[in-house]
C-alpha cells in the first residue's frame, strides 16, 4: 500500500492537515510553556530538531531529509 499523498490530495485535504498539525503541536506547545528558562527552551528545540531529522531521514533517506530541512528553513525565514 502506498502511504504517500499526491499533491492534488494534499491540496484537497489542506484544511484537515492544518487542523491536524495544530492538534499534534498542542502537547509540544504546552511543554514549551512549562519550561523555566531560555536554556530549557533551547534544549527542547534541539531535541525536537534532532528527532525531526531522524524521522525524515528514516522516511525519506539522508539526502531528501536534508533538502526538506533546507526548504523548511527557507519557509520559516520568509514567514518571520
State the cell numbers at 78.
520568509
Phi, psi of 37, rounded to the nearest 5 degrees: -155, 175
- DSSP 8-state code for residue 6: P
Would the pTM of this model clear 0.85, i.e. be above it?
Answer: no
Please state, in angstroms and rounded to a whole number, the distance separating the CA atoms of residues 64 and 57.
7
Query: How many other CB atoms are found less than 10 A from the CB of residue 23?
Result: 9
Domains of the chain, by residue range, sit at: 1-34, 36-80
Given a contact cutoff of 8 angstroms between Cβ atoms, the answer to whether 56 and 64 are in contact is: yes
Return per-residue pLDDT of the chain as tens, 80 residues: 456 777 788 778 888 999 999 999 999 999 999 998 999 999 999 999 999 999 999 999 999 999 999 999 999 999 98
Amino acid at each position: 500500500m502506498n502511504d504517500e499523498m499526491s499533491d492534488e490530495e494534499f491540496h484537497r485535504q489542506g484544511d484537515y492537515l492544518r487542523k491536524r498539525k495544530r492538534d499534534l503541536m498542542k502537547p509540544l506547545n504546552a511543554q514549551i510553556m512549562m519550561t523555566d528558562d531560555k536554556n530549557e527552551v533551547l534544549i527542547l528545540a534541539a531535541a525536537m530538531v534532532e528527532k525531526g531529522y531522524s524521522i525524515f531521514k528514516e522516511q525519506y533517506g539522508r539526502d531528501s531529509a536534508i533538502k526538506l530541512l533546507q526548504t523548511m528553513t527557507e519557509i520559516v525565514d520568509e514567514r518571520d
